[in-house]
Chains A and B, each alone.
Chain A
Amino acid sequence: MENELKKLNATIKADELILMDVLQNKIAGRYTAKDSGEKHLDLFMKNVKLPSFLTNIKSLWIKNAEANLDFKFPWGYVYIKHINAEHLLLLSFPTSRICTSKINAYLNLFSPENENQ
């Protein structure tokens, strides 16, 4: 899975990627592109109870499970993308500049099952 995430990241240029298995509530794969010493996604996941956190926060607005969430922090962004019913992808971007439409276009093509093919 790390290779798949690495390939994906060649285009979207995130700092860290974590693929979550939502049904089992565990990490299905991860890739760290830049060893900045700041593991923002680890900190993020350590301090929230996924997926109950996402269930609550989504229920305020988002009725569609395909919708995404974008957390803007002082150091950058954590972007959460629903890949399919089973998988969530968490990405950490270092800067305040993020082009979600471009990233979404590539993420829509990503399938965690590719590795098994």
Chain B
Amino acid sequence: MSNLNQIHQLINGLVSYFTSIKAYGLIDISNYSISSLELRSATIDEASLKATIEDIISLCKGMKMPLEELMIDYGRTGFLNFKLYGNHLMFYLSDEGNFGQINYFVKNIKIEVDDTELLKEVQEEEKEEGETADPKLLAARNIQQSILPSPDQFDKYFKKSFIYFKPKEVIGGDFYWMKEAGDSVYFAVSDCTGHSVEGAMASMTVSSILTQVVDGKSKVNLSLKEAHERLRGFKNGVNEKNISGGIGAEIILCCYDKKKNELEYASSGIPLIHFSKGTLNVIKTKSKSKFRKELSLDDFSYEKLKLAKGDKLCFFSDGLVDQFDKNNKKKLGLNGLGKIVESIGMNGSFNHKNFKSSIDDWRGTTAQTDDTVLLGVEI
């Protein structure tokens, strides 16, 4: 992989600083093989370490859990731990002495690598677009992006998060939103009617309404109903009989309570995927709001999910499930998207890079069907 040298440099820095690390190496998670192994102590038996790592890979695969979630504590003697860097998983065997310090250091390295990769990808995409797109659309993109929360804001509440955001035409009607409220965070993923300028204008309006209606106290279904009622107010110039005119939006509004580890959500048509302990649950939500003159709470899906550490959740617009494959014949569908989430969620690669790579593989050179947004979070 392109950043393997960078990973090696970071790891060399880590092990030179922490002399208590007695052995370390990398596992290539694409084929679950040990790609490098370094011993720094004569007391460590290489054959035992290799056999142990292989057993652990097998154990984690069998238990359908990411290797990086496992830590083996030798009590007063030391520990064996794992950390993911891109497509490689580092393992390190260390004395117990500075367990906390090492893990803090390793965690910060990971953020640096991920941010660098993400920034590079985004810059490359923007450069490509910048060469062909209308300068007015590019300026509008900057305005639209200024209202979007940064991944760092989500990382304050979740172990990991990533955002796949790709409008069809530089700007679009899909967007994501968040508002912090103490131990809880409110966030939304929305798909507004229309693409390009039309969609982007709608998205700015819906984002503004969400900021107004979410008060940090009310249940999310009440706030979502209020948001849709306000959207119905934008009917000037639209035929009164055409209730779906004006600004239309599918929205999933969530509240994650970090203390209770509970997710409350209300949706007007945006589905979600919940991947927990090896089990994938694709949750379809109802979308009745645009067909009724008078809205009621029953028009929206509403549920509370009790979550567990390691659970992964994805919220997304229909642009992803409607995307045609590389032969331009078959749509990805909810099941196809679920398989991608299961695949990257199971092997410890639940991140933007791997999600994007899977979607790119599916789409090939086929034109993008619609605006797309997916927010992925890991508890």
**Which residues of chain B have C-beta atoms less than 8 A from A60's C-beta?**
23, 44-45, 48-49, 52, 74, 80, 93
A100 x B63 contact (CB < 8 A) = no
Residues of A within 8 A of B (CB): 38, 43-44, 46-49, 53, 56-57, 59-62, 67-75, 96, 100
Contact, CB under 8 Å: A73 / B65: yes
Q: Which residue of the partner chain A has the closest CB to B23?
A: A60
**How far does the alpha carbon of A69 sit from the alpha carbon of B59 in the complex, in Å?**
15
Cβ–Cβ contact B55 & A67, under 8 A:
no
- Interface SS of A by simple majority: mixed
A27–B96 Cα distance when bound, in Å, is 32
Q: A60-B80, A62-B77 are in contact. Are A73 and B69 (CB under 8 A)?
A: yes
Would you call B55 and A74 a contact (CB within 8 A)?
A: no
Task: Give the A-binding residues of B (Cβ under 8 A).
Answer: 23, 44-45, 48-49, 51-52, 55, 58-59, 61-63, 65, 69-75, 77-78, 80, 93, 277, 308-310
Chain B residues contacting A59 (CB-CB under 8 Å) are: 45, 48
**Contact residues in B for A72 (Cβ distance below 8 Å):** 70-73
The number of A-B residue pairs with CB atoms under 8 Å apart is 80
Alpha-carbon gap, A43 to B52, bound state (A):
18
Structural contact, A67 and B77, CB atoms closer than 8 A: yes
Q: Which residues of A contact B48 (CB under 8 A)?
A: 56-57, 59-60
Q: Which 3 A-B pairs have the closest CB atoms?
A: A74-B310, A47-B62, A70-B73
Chain B residue numbers with a CB within 8 Å of A68 are: 75
Q: Which residues of B contact A44 (CB under 8 A)?
A: 59, 63
A59 to chain B, nearest CB (A): 4
Q: Is the CB of A47 within 8 A of B74?
A: no
